[in-house]
């Protein structure tokens, strides 16, 4: 699914974007496009810090001895700054080659995931943090909407030819969070299963088959490995972050899930963004 198949009549308008100011200026310069791209990348890095700390705090990990409200307030200007720079540089980068974005499923996924991530960061997290952990009814509704939008983005990401491999990054992000903040037993079990899968796929891909000679079989194995990995990580994450904790200071399960969802939603935005360039058209 991409914008080209959803809105085919918009093609002339999309094409005309490349002629608007200041795109011809950027195109005629040998360095301007790359300067904007690097600025975009630096803003992504800033965004990383600004979403990780409040997200992890909501999960009850990281800076757990600081109140959620103080962390959210501290990172808020950096989050806004990063979002404004990302919006400006992202629009300019897109307008330089609008037809590429128009036909790429990864760009469609990125736009959908941005909506979910913005609802979570600017709406839900801010609401919960300002009440130091209390989730209001409105916040629950907003989180539910964001979850539905994010799941739709993941579904499109995982089923779009040319973009699907990018879901590996989101599975990896979820895996890392479970491995970093899960219980010891969870780490051992998930780590063991992961090792078996990685070694198994390695043997099957390079020992039993050959990627170039048995392309279709190897691709099918990769697809099923990704699906299995996604289910495995999702299962462990939900179990790990919803189970009852003994510590009195432990964050409530809903807060933990919202913190996790916010981090994963932003990683989906970043991963889909990277796969606009790395992937192919639908």
Binding site for other proteins (CB under 8 A): 30, 34, 37-38, 41-42, 44-50, 52-53, 56, 62-66, 70, 74-75, 78, 165-166, 168-169, 172-173, 176, 180, 211, 222, 266-267, 270-271, 274-275, 277-279
CB of 161 to other proteins, least distance (A): 12
Are 275 and 165 in contact, with CB atoms under 8 Å apart?
A: yes
Residue number with CB closer to other proteins (107 or 275): 275
CB of 273 to other proteins, least distance (A): 9
Residue number with CB closer to other proteins (192 or 211): 211
Q: What is the DSSP letter of 9?
A: G
CB of 144 to other proteins, least distance (A): 26
Residue number with CB closer to other proteins (86 or 142): 86
Q: Which CB contacts under 8 angstroms, 24+ apart, belong to 83-89? A: 83/47, 83/118, 85/39, 85/40, 85/42, 85/43, 85/46, 86/40, 86/43, 86/44, 86/47, 89/36, 89/37, 89/39, 89/40, 89/43
Residue number with CB closer to other proteins (46 or 159): 46
Residue number with CB closer to other proteins (9 or 216): 216
CB of 9 to other proteins, least distance (A): 26
Q: Which two tokens stand for residue 191?
A: 């780590």
The residue behind tokens 């801010």 is: 126
Residue 113 CA to residue 247 CA, distance in Å, equals 34
Are 272 and 109 in contact, with CB atoms under 8 Å apart?
A: yes
CB of 140 to other proteins, least distance (A): 27
**62 Rama class: left (phi>0) / alpha (psi -120 to 50) / beta:** left
CB of 230 to other proteins, least distance (A): 15
Residue number with CB closer to other proteins (142 or 237): 237
CB of 96 to other proteins, least distance (A): 10
For residue 261, how many C-alpha atoms fall within 13 Å in the half-sphere facing its CB?
29
Residue 131 CA to residue 68 CA, distance in Å, equals 8
Residue number with CB closer to other proteins (176 or 196): 176
Residue 255 CA to residue 60 CA, distance in Å, equals 8
Residue 117 CA to residue 97 CA, distance in Å, equals 25
Q: Among 141, 156, 182, which Cα is nearest to 268's?
A: 156
């Amino acid at each position: 699914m991409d914008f080209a198949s959803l809105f085919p009549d918009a093609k002339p308008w999309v094409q005309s974007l490349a002629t608007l100011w200041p795109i011809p200026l950027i195109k005629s310069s040998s360095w301007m496009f790359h300067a904007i791209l690097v600025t975009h990348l630096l803003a992504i890095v800033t965004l990383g810090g600004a979403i990780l700390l409040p997200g992890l705090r909501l999960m009850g990990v990281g800076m757990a001895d600081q109140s959620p409200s103080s962390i959210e307030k501290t990172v808020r200007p950096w989050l806004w700054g990063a979002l404004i720079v990302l919006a400006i540089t992202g629009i300019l980068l897109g307008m330089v080659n609008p037809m590429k974005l128009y036909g790429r499923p990864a760009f469609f996924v990125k736009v959908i995931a941005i909506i979910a991530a913005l609802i979570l960061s600017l709406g839900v997290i801010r609401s919960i943090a300002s009440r130091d952990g209390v989730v209001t009814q409105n916040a629950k509704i907003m989180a539910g909407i964001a979850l539905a939008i994010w799941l739709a983005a993941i579904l499109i990401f995982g089923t779009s030819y040319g973009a699907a491999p990018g879901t590996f990054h989101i599975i990896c992000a979820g895996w890392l969070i479970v491995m970093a903040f899960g219980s010891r037993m969870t780490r051992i079990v998930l780590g063991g299963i992961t090792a078996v899968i990685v070694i198994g796929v390695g043997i099957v891909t390079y020992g039993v088959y050959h990627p170039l000679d048995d392309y279709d079989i190897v691709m099918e194995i990769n697809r099923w490995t990704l699906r299995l990995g996604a289910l495995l990580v999702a299962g462990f994450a939900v179990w790990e972050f919803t189970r009852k904790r003994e510590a009195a200071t432990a964050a409530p399960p809903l807060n933990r899930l919202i913190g996790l969802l916010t981090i994963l939603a932003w990683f989906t935005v970043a991963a889909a963004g990277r796969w606009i360039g790395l992937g192919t058209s639908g």
